[in-house]
Amino acid sequence: MAAKQKKAPRPKAETPKGFRDYFGADVAERKAMLDKIAGVYHLYGFEALESSAVETVEALGKFLPDVDRPNEGVFAWQEEDSGWVALRYDLTAPLARVYAQHRNDLPTPYRRYAMGPVWRNEKPGPGRFRQFYQCDADTVGAPTVAADAEICAMLSDVLEVVGIPRGDYQVRVNNRKVLNGVLETMGLADDAQRDAVLRTIDKFDKVGEAGVRELLGKGRLDASGAYIDGVGLSDGQAAPVLAFLTSKGADATKTLQNLRDAIGASQIGAEGVGELETMAELLGAQGYGSDRIEIDPSVVRGLGYYTGPVFEAELTFEILDEKGRPRQFGSVSGGGRYDDLVKRFTGQEVPATGVSIGVDRLLAALRAKGRMGGDTTGPVIVTVMDRDRMGAYQEMVAELRNAGIRAEVYLGNPKNFGNQLKYADKRNSPVAVIQGSDEADRGVVQIKDLILGAKIAQEASLEEWKSQPAQFEIQRSDLVAEVRKILGGGNA
């Protein structure tokens, strides 16, 4: 007898590691926010661009920071006839490819915004996903720092439009050229030493001035008790870096003066300070004061990547961390000038500057502020009392939809009327419409105000229950008007 064939195991219903599902309210909130951001970008004259989610591995270039193995850090695969391709890990590398490919047909400068998911093949962690949304705006082909100042102004406007009030955020601006001037003044022996100094500077927001001083010198004990070797600089060599990192003064004039002192005689450094000064003047002329945008040399994230001005938007209000301790919300956006990205394709340097907004972080910030995360209202539900009268119910739904009111007929098994109301409750529906054959004969419908019903059930006495009926009868011809009244909060 033939052996009984083993049944294939059922697939496990689970999301892959590092990914998540987004349901109705999440998607609606994200879309509403992206629409507002797109509105600001559009107002500033930027054009939408939607490029492919897949790029060639060559076009993406070096992938994520500190990753040197081929295709590590991205989701990549090999095509039979055309080499390796990968899912994009940001929206900037695709822009460089698009501009290089279509530059003869595009205006210069080319101003574009792009929104969409990006994918990173990194180790997932709490709040760290392998697929997330970015929302970028860039100007390619404009060498003037007026383009950088404009991006900072636009970033400030975006934050206010989505619901972060003035005083709850700060756009902070620094410049890579100033740091280059500092490194020049230090007279470092070789590139390896320069790289070590850059890595140390990047830890400034974590370890502070004292920590950076130790790491530039002999080294320090970290929180876990492990000893981290330092770069080995003398106090005199390290002094310009510390002067640079701590040069923020009471106002822009004082900060710029401190930066001039930190760069000494360096020409590239002086160029960077001049650019920051011009940006401050341009932003001031448009009414963006230091309460919104300020020069802050402690902004060091990304200084390795950018070639000129660099900026980030930080949310300054407090939230509680996982352990209930208060902390500032932190950065939701970063950007800067990257004048050598397009050069990889064309051989010629093309100036470019842009900003990227972390959509998920910004949504989390708005939820923390109580600006989002409210229940979304579901559709009006037309219940089914009589299966044979489906045409009449569909007619009601069509009438409501034609009036711009979200509505649906209950399409489950109509046998149990209680289940229909449970469905309406689960959908967070504001209104249920009921019409049996008796109501149909009299040309009326019953309206059940589910918002009021829930409120009465929670708070009201019996007398109020009687005086504020959550279910009442109306003429069939008044359906749209009465539903609209409830949706507008006008029902007594």
In order along its 492 residues, the chain shows pLDDT tens digits of 666 677 888 999 999 999 999 998 889 899 999 999 999 999 999 999 999 999 998 888 765 544 444 557 889 888 888 888 999 999 999 999 999 999 999 999 999 999 999 999 888 877 788 999 999 999 999 999 999 999 999 999 999 999 999 999 999 999 999 988 988 888 775 777 777 888 888 788 778 888 888 888 888 877 777 888 877 787 887 888 888 888 888 888 889 988 888 888 889 999 999 999 999 999 999 999 999 999 998 887 777 788 999 999 999 887 766 676 777 788 899 999 998 888 889 898 899 999 999 998 899 888 887 766 656 789 999 999 998 999 999 999 999 999 999 999 999 998 899 999 999 999 999 999 999 999 999 999 999 998 877 666 656 554 554 555 788 999 999 999 999 999 886 443
- What's the distance, Cα to Cα, between the start and end of the chain in Å? 77
Own/partner pairs, 425-430, CB within 8 angstroms, 24+ separation: 425/450, 427/378, 427/379, 427/381, 428/375, 428/376, 428/377, 428/378, 429/377, 429/378, 429/379, 429/380, 429/381, 430/377, 430/378, 430/380, 430/486, 430/487
Q: What confidence score (pLDDT) does residue 226 get?
A: 80
pTM, to two decimals? 0.83
CATH 3.40.50.800 in the chain, residue ranges: 380-487
Give CA–CA dist 313/333, Å, rounded.
5
Cα 99 from Cα 110, distance rounded (Å): 8
In whole angstroms, give the CA distance from residue 198 to residue 186.
13
Q: Which residues touch 354 (CB under 8 Å, ≥6 apart)? A: 92, 95, 136, 137, 138, 139, 151, 335, 336, 338
Residue 441 backbone zone (phi > 0: left; psi -120 to 50: alpha; other: beta): alpha
- Look up residue 186 and give its two tokens: 């230090």
- Measured between alpha carbons, how far is 311 from 337 in angstroms, rounded to an integer? 9
What's residue 65's pLDDT? 45
Cite the residue boundaries of each domain of the chain with CATH code 3.30.930.10. 24-368
Distance (Å) of CA 271 to CA 19, 77, 178, 296? 44, 44, 8, 17
Residue 178 has φ and ψ, to the nearest 5°, of -65, -45
How far are the Cα atoms of 175, 238, 300, 303, 421 from residue 272, in angstroms, in the given order? 6, 20, 14, 13, 66
The four Cα atoms 380, 384, 388, 393 give a dihedral, to 10 degrees, of -10
CATH topology for 24-368?
BirA Bifunctional Protein; domain 2 (3.30.930)
Give the pLDDT of residue 281.
Answer: 95
Topology of the domain comprising 380-487: Rossmann fold (3.40.50)
